[in-house]
Structures are given as structure tokens and as C-alpha cells.
Chain A
Amino acid sequence: MTIQIDLTGKVALVTGASRGIGAEIARVFARAGAHVFVNGRNEQTLQELCSELGGNAEPLAFDVCDPKAIKEAFQKLFKQTKQLDILVNNAGILDDALIGMVTEAQVERTFATNTFSVLYTSQYGSRLMQRSSRDSSGNAKGGSIINVSSIIGRVGNHGQAVYAGSKAAVIGITQSLAKELAGSGIRVNAIAPGFIDTDMTRTIPEDKYKERMSSIAMKRIGTPEDIANTALFLASDLASYVTGQVIGVDGGMLI
């Protein structure tokens, strides 16, 4: 039996979609028929991705660190579509330092990007979803918020207290919103990627890279597509009874 996931008629927003995991999620969603708003800071990069995806995607450039910009972006979505079915909070940064060398700026930037943005987009996104998640009889049709956390947010890691804290908070936000929004038919889940081949992980020093690779039971680095496929499942009706979960996509990685 072939199961095809069809997101036709769904409207999605993917933050941090300029490259890596976010871009791949946008590709997979667009291929499944969703209309995807791709977010990033660089309009031109977003335009290039949208050209690749054809008519199923359009750019929505804003800085996730700026609550005012988030508000304005959602007001634009409200005016334009009045619909949002899927929100993927993927935008994130990694900035490692030993605790004695962590700067205030590092803490603020990391939490603004990885954590606070999730709260603000979920706030406006869930309000939009509550509209589009009801059919004409007022019954919940369902929306899906997918937060990209990290294996580091679950188990922590040496030199990554700030990143781990920001991603652990995403799990708390996910589980709380799952409870708060379930009655509106909105599911909220998180994905906790392991070691994934992206620009972000390519900056890791060679010895650390080898160490991480040796900790993966499946003996290969993960791909953005591995994460995108899980996001596709969570966005789809196949996951219609799944909420408040954190799905590890890490090839059996141990830290």
C-alpha cells in the first residue's frame, strides 16, 4: 500500500528557511502541495528558493529576533490569506562557549532567535490557526505547530549551556502549548534533531566532528531531508492524534 501525504489546500510558514533544514522542510511541504511562506532575513535568498519551488512558495522576510517584525509579518498573513495551517519554528543559531566565557550578547541573541521567537510566532500563529482550524460547522479541523528543538536541549552538552537552555525551553513551550491549544484542534510537537549535515554543523572543529560521528549508532550523519520528512508527518493528518511529543531524529545518537 502506498501512502501519499497530501498537504494541498494547506498554508504553511517555515522560519529560518533560507538554507539547511528549513529550506528542506519548505521543499518537502511544497512538493506535498502546501502553499509555503518561507521566512528568512535575506529577501533575495528567499526569492531563489521560491523560484525553485514554483508557484507553491512565497517569501516572508523578517527577523525572528524582532517581535515587532513578527507581528507585522503575521498581520500581513492575516490580510493576505486569513489562513495558517502549519507553522514550523525552525530558525536557530548555534554559538558554543564554555560557561566562563559566555557573553551577555551571546545569551540574548541565542535565546531571542531559538526561544523567544517560538513564543511570539506561536502567539500570532495560533490565533490565525484558530480561524482556519474550524470548518463551517465550527468543528476543529486542526492546525500543526512544529518546533525544531535539538538533542542538546534534551540531554545537554559540554560547552553548550546556552544553546541547550534555549532548546530545552522550546520543549517546555511545546508541551505547554500542546495542552493549551488542543481544544482548538491545534497540535504542537517538537523535533529534536541529532547531528545533521548543515552549514551550522560544518563549522564544528574536526576533532569534535569526528567525536560526534562516532556517537551515532546508525553510523551516518543525518540529512535535512530526515528532519523534513518527520516534519511532513507531523504536519499531516497521519499525525492527527499526536501532540505534545518530542520526536528524536538522531540515528540513535548518544551524548
Chain B
Amino acid sequence: MTTERLKVVFAEALGLPAEKITDDLAYNSIKEWDSTAHMILVAALEDTFDVMLDTDDIIDMSSVAKAREILKKYDIEC
């Protein structure tokens, strides 16, 4: 289940309404989440959760659910 905090970061970074941010929302499945937006999203996640992600994790971040799973590796529950 996507939490409010993660949803807000995704919504702001991708310029989408919060209700569109669901666990199964996937990278490159909508025009708002292209590679440029992906890097903006990464920066927003890093700023919000005070972490610098590995390059492999940036590449693996293929959905909202996957983002939450990756952040968990950094001891971030969201």
C-alpha cells in the first residue's frame, strides 16, 4: 500500500494528481514518467528521505512498489 508521503513525492515529481499514484504505476508506462522525470523523481526521493541511491537502484526503480522496496534497503519505511 502506497503511503501518503511516498505518494506526495511521486505526485510532485511527476506532476500527477496523488490519486494516480498507485503501487502498480510503472516507469515509462505514462508520458509523465520518462527518463528525465525519473531523475527528477530520484532527486526528490533522495531529498525527502535523506539518502543517496545507488545507480543500480535508480535503474531498478521500475514502479512505485519497487521504489518502496528499494527504499526499505536503506532502512526507510514508506
Binding site for B on A (CB under 8 A): 71, 74-75, 78-79, 123-124, 127, 130-131
The answer to whether B55 and A130 have CB atoms under 8 Å apart is: no
Interface centre among A79, A123, A127, A131 (most CB of B within 10 A): A127
Contacts of B54 in A (CB 8 A): 71
5 pairs across A/B with beta carbons < 8 Å?
A71-B55, A123-B55, A127-B43, A131-B46, A131-B47
> Which B residues fall within an 8 A CB radius of A?
39, 42-43, 46-47, 52, 54-55
Chain A residues whose CB sits within 8 angstroms of the CB of B46 once the complex forms:
78, 127, 131
Asked if residues B52 and A78 are in contact (CB atoms below 8 Å), the reply is yes
Measured CB to CB, the closest approach of chain B to A113, in angstroms, equals 20
Q: Is the CB of B52 within 8 A of A130?
A: no
- Number of cross-chain contacts by CB at 8 Å: 19
CA distance A79 to B49 in the complex (A): 12
* Chain A residues near B47 (CB-CB < 8 A): 131
The CA-CA distance from A127 to B46 in the complex, in Å, is 10
For B39, list chain A residues within 8 Å (CB): 127, 130
Q: Which chain B residues border A75 with CB–CB below 8 Å?
A: 52
- Nearest CB on A from B61, distance (A): 14
* Chain B residues with CB below 8 A from A79, complex form: 52
- Is A131 within 8 A of B52, CB to CB? no
Given contacts A124-B52, A127-B43, A131-B47, 11 further A-B contacts (CB under 8 A): A71-B55, A74-B52, A78-B46, A78-B52, A127-B39, A127-B42, A127-B46, A127-B52, A130-B39, A130-B43, A131-B43
- What residue in chain A is nearest B56 (Cβ atoms)? A71
Q: Which 10 A-B pairs have the closest CB atoms?
A: A78-B52, A75-B52, A130-B43, A131-B43, A71-B54, A123-B55, A74-B52, A131-B47, A127-B43, A127-B42
Complex CA–CA separation, A74 to B51 (angstroms): 11
Give the CA-CA distance A164 to B4 in the complex, in Å: 53
Nearest Cβ on chain A to B25's Cβ, whole angstroms: 23
Q: How far is the CA of A124 from the CA of B43 in the complex (A)?
A: 11
Contacts of A130 in B (CB 8 A): 39, 43
A80 shortest CB reach to chain B, Å: 11
- The distance from the CB of B38 to the nearest CB of chain A, in whole angstroms, is 12
Q: Measured between alpha carbons, how far is A130 from B47 in the docked complex, in Å?
A: 11
A26 to B47 Cα, complex, angstroms: 29
The CA of A127 and the CA of B55, in the complex, are separated in Å by: 11
Q: Which residue of B lies closest to A68 (CB)?
A: B54
Q: Provide the residues of chain B in CB contact with A124, threshold 8 Å.
A: 52
- Set of chain B residues within 8 Å of A123, measured between Cβ atoms: 55
Interchain nearest-CB distance for A180 vs B (Å): 10
Q: How far is the CB of A120 from chain B (nearest CB, A)?
A: 9
Closest to A76 in B: B52
| Interchain CA distance A131-B47 in the complex, whole Å | 9
Cα-based distance from A123 to B43 in the complex (angstroms): 13
Max count, chain A CB within 10 A of own CB: residue among B42, B43, B52: B52
Q: Which residues of A contact B43 (CB under 8 A)?
A: 127, 130-131
